[in-house]
Amino acid sequence: MFEAVAFYLFAALTIVMFTITVMTSQALYALTAMAAGMIFISAFFFILGADFLGAIQIIVYTGAVMALYAFGMMFFDTTRNVIEKRNNPRFVVILGGLAAVLVVLIVLAPIVTTDLNAHYPIDTSVGNSQAIGMVLFTKYLVPFEVAAVMLLVAMIAGIVLAGKKMDKSLTLMADEEIALMHALSHDTTEEKGGH
Amino acid sequence: MELTLNHYLVLSAVLFAIGLIGVMRRKNLLMLFFATEILLNAVNVGMAAISHYRGDYTGQMFAFFIIAIAASEVAVGLGLLIVWYKRTGKIDLDQMTSMRG
């Protein structure tokens, strides 16, 4: 009973928050509404007994991803209203509905057609975090390591992209401009060395 | 009133539809990223629900990897967005036409 009440409450809250995220013209409203929606999503994980996943959801999304977006938005002009081009809203709604039906069919199809066996059955004798650790570090060790390498690559890419001198495109510049830029950078380094 | 797997799958589909509408109507790239986060989260809810109602940890494992991929996508995507904003001063999708021949 309480489970159902919690489910409907958080379902309504999540849908409202994500609708605000999608529909608002203010970037800051969208950011805060999405942060709230992410926290409400973690409630479903706790209801479903996936405690570790819920904790990870809060830490990664509302902690890391939202902070990253907040820092990123400092670079952009967020006080201005976002300009949207809406040429055919009915088309968008029809496509969205069709895609949702398609997703339901895709998710339901294997459940309806075959009787499934659990590869890694849920073990009630240990806690969720412990069981997750046992499955993750035995059966899913290789994907785990690959994900770690991918995160490292993403971190380096983020550092390099947000670094200095990435705002100049060598492909879009003429040869003279590139030569001028090189000459200027040599001058400045020599000055620094002289002092 | 008993909750079933279908409740969660319907919720997941609704959230996915909201995200998809966002992806289709947004022209601002930052708002487009927000919509993709909603898409990934909608799928995560479905994964966790199937994991619970089928008694299998695989769904939760895939949800973890989806979260890892989402985090790295944000890092790289936001870096590219900052570079683009520094160069052009705009983050509108319609104005990214520098590859037109």
Q: Which residues pair with B56 in a beta bridge?
A: A121
A9: containing domain: 1-86
* CA B90 to centroid of chain Cα atoms: 23
Give the model's confidence band at A70: pLDDT under 50 very low, under 70 low, under 90 confident, else very high. confident
The C-alpha angle B11, B6, A21, rounded to 5 degrees, equals: 5
Chain B hits for A41, Cβ within 8 Å: 41, 44-45
> What is the average pLDDT across B66-91?
86
What is the C-alpha to C-alpha distance for residues A72 and A77, in angstroms, rounded to an integer?
10
Hey, where are the domains in chain B?
Answer: 7-90
> Is the pLDDT assigned to residue A167 strictly greater than 70?
no
Give a yes or no: residue A3 inside a domain: yes
Q: Phi and psi (nearest 5°) for A116?
A: -95, 150
The confidence score (pLDDT) of residue A57 equals 92
> What is the average pLDDT across A20-33?
89
What is the C-alpha to C-alpha distance for residues B56 and A102, in angstroms, rounded to an integer?
24
Tokens of A116: 């499934």
The confidence score (pLDDT) of residue A153 equals 93
- Please count the other Cβ atoms lying within 10 Å of the Cβ belonging to residue B17: 25
What's the predicted TM-score (pTM) here?
0.81
Point out the residue among A27, A50, A107 whose CB comes nearest to the CB of B30.
Answer: A27
Give the model's confidence band at A33: pLDDT under 50 very low, under 70 low, under 90 confident, else very high. very high
The confidence score (pLDDT) of residue A46 equals 93
Nearest to A27 by CA among B76, B41, B85, B44: B85
Nearest to B13 by CA among A96, A184, A21, A31: A96
Give the model's confidence band at A80: pLDDT under 50 very low, under 70 low, under 90 confident, else very high. low
Instruction: Give the tens place of pLDDT for each residue, A103-161.
Output: 778 777 766 656 667 777 777 777 888 888 888 899 899 999 999 999 999 999 888 88
The confidence score (pLDDT) of residue A151 equals 92
Helix (H) / strand (E) element for A25: namely: none
Query: Across all residues in chain A, what is the average pLDDT?
Result: 82
Q: How many domains does chain A have?
A: 1
Give a yes or no: residue A189 inside a domain: no
Point out the residue among B55, B72, B83 whose CB comes nearest to the CB of A150.
Answer: B72
> Is the pLDDT assigned to residue A87 strictly greater than 70?
no
The confidence score (pLDDT) of residue A190 equals 59
- Please count the other Cβ atoms lying within 10 Å of the Cβ belonging to residue B86: 14
A86 or B60: whose pLDDT is higher?
B60
Looking at residue A59, the DSSP 8-state letter turns out to be I
Q: How far is A186 from chain B (nearest CA, A)?
A: 23
The confidence score (pLDDT) of residue A114 equals 63
Give a yes or no: residue A177 inside a domain: no
Give the residue from A2, A65, A77, A138 with the most B CB atoms within 10 Å of its CB, the best one to mutate. A65
What is the C-alpha to C-alpha distance for residues B42 and A103, in angstroms, rounded to an integer?
11
The confidence score (pLDDT) of residue A45 equals 93
CATH of the domain at A82: 1.20.120.1200
Instruction: Give the tens place of pLDDT for each residue, B14-67.
Output: 998 899 888 888 888 888 899 999 999 999 999 999 888 888 888 899 999 999
Q: Do B92 and A83 touch (CB under 8 A)?
A: yes
Q: Report yes or no: A175 and A167 within 8 Å, Cβ to Cβ.
A: no
Q: Which residues pair with A121 in a beta bridge?
A: B56
Tokens of A13: 């809250």
Architecture of the domain whose range is B7-90:
Orthogonal Bundle (1.10)
Q: How far is B8 from chain A (nearest CA, A)?
A: 9
Say whether residue A70 is in contact with chain B using an 8 A CB cutoff: no
> What is the average pLDDT across A20-27?
88
The confidence score (pLDDT) of residue B3 equals 84
Chain A hits for B72, Cβ within 8 Å: 150-151, 153-155
> Is the pLDDT assigned to residue A170 strictly greater than 90?
no
Chain B hits for A107, Cβ within 8 Å: 9, 12-13, 46, 50
Q: What is the dihedral of CA A100, A105, A110, A114, to 10 degrees?
A: 150
The confidence score (pLDDT) of residue B101 equals 56
